[in-house]
Amino acid sequence: MEALRFQVVGEAFKKKPLDVKAPSERPYEYFGKKVFNREKMYKYLPKQVYEKMIDVIDNGARLDREIADAVAAGMKQWAVENGVTHYTHWFQPLTEGTAEKHDSFIEHDGKGGMVEEFTGKLLVQQEPDASSFPSGGIRSTFEARGYSAWDPTSPVFIIDDTLCIPTVFISYSGEALDYKAPLLRALHAVNVAATEVCHYFDPAVKKVTSNLGWEQEYFLVDEGLYAARPDLLLTGRTLMGHDSAKNQQMDDHYFGSIPERVAAFMRDLEIQALELGVPCKTRHNEVAPNQFELAPIFEETNLAVDHNMMLMSLMKKVARKHGFRVLLHEKPFAGINGSGKHNNWSLSTDNGILLHAPGKTPEQNLRFATFIVETLMGVYKHNGLLKASIMSATNAHRLGANEAPPAIVSSFLGKQVSELLDHIEMADKDFLAMTGKQGLKMDIPEIPELLIDNTDRNRTSPFAFTGNRFEFRAVGSEANCASAMIALNSAVAEALVDFKKRVDARIPEFEKKLAGTEHSAKFHAIIDVLREDIKTCKPIRFDGNGYSDEWVAEAAKRGLDVEKSCPKIFERYLDPESIQMFESLGVMTKKELKARNEVKWETYTKKIQIEARVLGDLSMNHIIPVATRYQTALLKNVDSVSTVFPVDKAEKLNARNLKIIEEIAERTSAIEKGVEELVNARKLANKITDEHEKAIAYHDKVEPKLDAIRYQIDKLELIVDDALWPLPKYRELLFIR
């Protein structure tokens, strides 16, 4: 075992970067090469069909099945010219990953031969087996029928020899079994609600789009070292491992020079991602060793979600080509920063106005204040739900640690925006005056004047305003962004609907009172409702240190959700106000919400269950035998010393070894006892039939025992002969050469 460990470590340190040959074109020339985008549609579709497709994509027009055959024919021609032989409906079930079933274009020609065929019927709809996907009880195991249906707003793309068609996935009885269907409904809801409110300021607005810019953090580990760690292989994180003497404390990895092997991987990944239409923009070292980040340009939210799911799959594939494994677990290593996926979210109009950006006139700033406040209203009312939308068994390890947002949803606005809202609330004169970026002069002649944004950043805030958007920082690295975006867009849509209802009710009142005054009745009605909402949502505003213990107590006083138990946090989906919101907006039904929670609780249980089994196996079959072997060697040494030296001398010489022998005995005994208690706790939890109660039992009774066992193993790692230790250590895993 020790020979294998040192062999894989040695091989990892000898690896050289692959020679990645970039395309001869510039990136903008091969961007979208493997995507059936507007350029390809214009080339391969009849003009009338192309125009109808653009109307569907841009304006939400109903898809006419009569044009499906023409679209399918154009897609097939383009795909075949690019070497494609198969097609698949690509969807996002409740497994947190993607799913696909490949079919070839081949059909019988009726004459004993074969032809390649792809019809509109095959494009628009398929029937994959739904029985083995999580459904939360919506479907019985023997009820296998489920349907995937084409989403024309997300372009078709090519992976290898397969045409991938983004689709929704629904049950035979019509309930959503995926993330895309409710996401599309939430985006429609926020579009309708926000457009109606925009008409107060600009009647010409026809559409409001939700935008998303995700930042994907991830770890890279050498593939050989990964294979030598069963816990990484089976759970995505290290269940044991003592801190490396050097990890991130020097802050030298953050934004540092990218290691040569990693740079080659990044180049290869970016080339393939750009060909798939993913607009990769930023890459850099993150805080922890072996941790990196990729971020694209902002896109429409549905497309951005699809692109992130595509990228996570592509990363894993490209990484293996370069001798790496990608770790998307939120906390794969103890003692160093975990990985998140910051979701930068904003709303914009069809005429190019960012609704969360300050303006230059009082009316523009009133619009800005309206969308800021109503966003805060949605976040305030549903802060527990938003936390539930990003919570998971894996993300629970990261949230609340001092490198990630706390497990309490609050919003940082910055001094300028906070003062603006305070002025509106207090009805100060010129309360809509707001400065944009200001100059900051430095006493260094060579440095030009810097433009300072209207907010600073607060890295401890889960939902921070950053100038013209909000950054939802609590989303986990391996999560599907759709979960957070469904909750956020729905919450904001509900707040905007309620806002407009109250403003419309008050306009007639102000028309009677304010005839002939400077401002319109509409203006006064908006201000009146805004003042109410600014006061109402004030508890969600917090610009201080979200890591402090004082904030936890303060948040509880403000009525914010401070629950830390993952299974209990999921309960927020079934709060009456959550069900009311989702059903009133047509996003999800109570039945769908209950089903999703069943899946969440079951998934949580299974993840902890797997970790418990893996840790028990490693403890009993790897760690204890090695520790005992070293203990035996020490005992032999003690016997030899006692034989050679006089008693007094032997006692002094053996003191250290005897101490280690005793410590090994105590710690291995504690591990054996811990594993036995872990198994018994699991057995008791497994007898619980209710998934909610079972998940709570795993959280309260099973998971804490993993940490107790790990503590003993990590202590053994420090004293057992390094040549005997069977698993690659943190100092070997965390530094790429």
Contact 420, 370 (CB under 8 A): no
Contact 500, 190 (CB under 8 A): no
Residue 572 has pLDDT above 70, yes or no: yes
Residue with tokens 């504690």: 670
Confidence tier at 571 by pLDDT (50, 70, 90): very high
DSSP string, 273-293: HHHTT--EEEEEE-SSTTEEE
Contact 496, 197 (CB under 8 A): yes
Q: Is the Cα torsion angle 126, 131, 133, 134 positive or negative in sign? A: positive
Output the six-digit token pair for 590: 């109570």
Residue 278 has pLDDT above 90, yes or no: yes
Residue 663, CA distances (Å) to 659, 712, 717 in order: 6, 10, 12
Quick one: residue 534, left, alpha or beta (phi over 0 = left, psi -120 to 50 = alpha)?
A: alpha
For the stretch 373-382, pLDDT in tens is: 999 999 999 9
Residue 289 has pLDDT above 50, yes or no: yes
Contact 344, 212 (CB under 8 A): yes
CB atoms within 10 A of CB 226: 21
Residue 447 has pLDDT above 50, yes or no: no
Provide the pLDDT for residue 269: 97
For the stretch 12-46, pLDDT in tens is: 667 777 877 778 789 889 999 999 999 999 999 99
Cα–Cα distance measured from residue 422 to residue 432, given in angstroms and rounded to the nearest whole number: 11
Residue 517 has pLDDT above 70, yes or no: no
For the stretch 542-554, pLDDT in tens is: 988 888 889 999 9
Counting DSSP H helices and E strands in the chain, the numbers are 25, 19
Q: What is the pTM of this model?
A: 0.93
Cα–Cα distance measured from residue 24 to residue 147, given in angstroms and rounded to the nearest whole number: 42
Provide the pLDDT for residue 77: 97
Provide the pLDDT for residue 460: 79
Provide the pLDDT for residue 432: 53
Antiparallel, parallel or unpaired: β 114-116 and 291-296: unpaired
Confidence tier at 570 by pLDDT (50, 70, 90): very high
DSSP string, 450-500: EEEPSS---TT-SEEE-SSSEEETT-BTTS-HHHHHHHHHHHHHHHHHHHH
How high is the mean pLDDT of the chain?
90
For the stretch 178-203, pLDDT in tens is: 999 999 999 999 999 999 999 999 99
Residue 557 has pLDDT above 90, yes or no: yes
Contact 16, 55 (CB under 8 A): no
Confidence tier at 439 by pLDDT (50, 70, 90): very low
Burial class of residue 656 (count of CB atoms within 10 Å of its CB; 0-12, 13-18, 19+): exposed
Residues 6+ apart with CB under 8 A from 506: 525, 528, 529
Cα–Cα distance measured from residue 736 to residue 227, given in angstroms and rounded to the nearest whole number: 16
Residues 6+ apart with CB under 8 A from 488: 345, 378, 379, 386, 389, 472
Q: What value does the mean pLDDT take over residues 250-262?
A: 89
Antiparallel, parallel or unpaired: β 86-90 and 157-159: unpaired
Cα–Cα distance measured from residue 300 to residue 298, given in angstroms and rounded to the nearest whole number: 7
Output the six-digit token pair for 492: 């904001």
Residue 448 has pLDDT above 70, yes or no: no
Q: What value does the mean pLDDT take over residues 455-477?
A: 85
Q: What are phi and psi of 98, to 5 degrees?
A: -120, 165
Q: Is the Cα torsion angle 395, 398, 400, 405 positive or negative in sign? A: negative
Q: What value does the mean pLDDT take over residues 502-514?
A: 88
DSSP 636: H
Share of the chain above pLDDT 90, in %: 72
Residue 516 has pLDDT above 80, yes or no: no
For the stretch 666-704, pLDDT in tens is: 999 999 999 999 999 999 999 999 999 999 999 999 999
Higher pLDDT, 476 or 467: 476
Antiparallel, parallel or unpaired: β 86-90 and 324-327: unpaired
Residue with tokens 């009745």: 521
What are 282's strand-pairing partners?
Answer: 295
Of the listed ranges 92-96, 290-294, 353-357, 516-520, the least confidently predicted one is 516-520
For the stretch 102-126, pLDDT in tens is: 999 998 888 888 888 999 999 998 8
Residues 6+ apart with CB under 8 A from 647: none
Q: What dihedral angle (degrees, nearest 10) is formed by the CA atoms of 55, 60, 64, 70?
A: 50
Contact 332, 232 (CB under 8 A): yes
Cα–Cα distance measured from residue 478 to residue 95, given in angstroms and rounded to the nearest whole number: 11
91: closest CA among 242, 305, 237, 246? 305
Cα radius of gyration rounded to whole Å, the chain:
29
Long-range contacts of 682-686 (CB under 8 A, 24+ apart): 682/609, 682/612, 685/605
Provide the pLDDT for residue 440: 36
Question: Is 97 in a helix, a strand, or coil?
Answer: coil
What are 158's strand-pairing partners?
Answer: 163
Q: What value does the mean pLDDT take over residues 296-300?
A: 97
For the stretch 589-600, pLDDT in tens is: 999 999 999 999
CB atoms within 10 A of CB 677: 15
Provide the pLDDT for residue 598: 96
Provide the pLDDT for residue 443: 43
Residue 149 has pLDDT above 60, yes or no: yes
Residue 239 has pLDDT above 70, yes or no: yes
DSSP string, 130-155: -TTS--TTSS-TT--BEEEEE-TTS-
Output the six-digit token pair for 127: 């029937």
Question: Is 111 in a helix, a strand, or coil?
Answer: coil
Confidence tier at 229 by pLDDT (50, 70, 90): very high
Provide the pLDDT for residue 657: 92
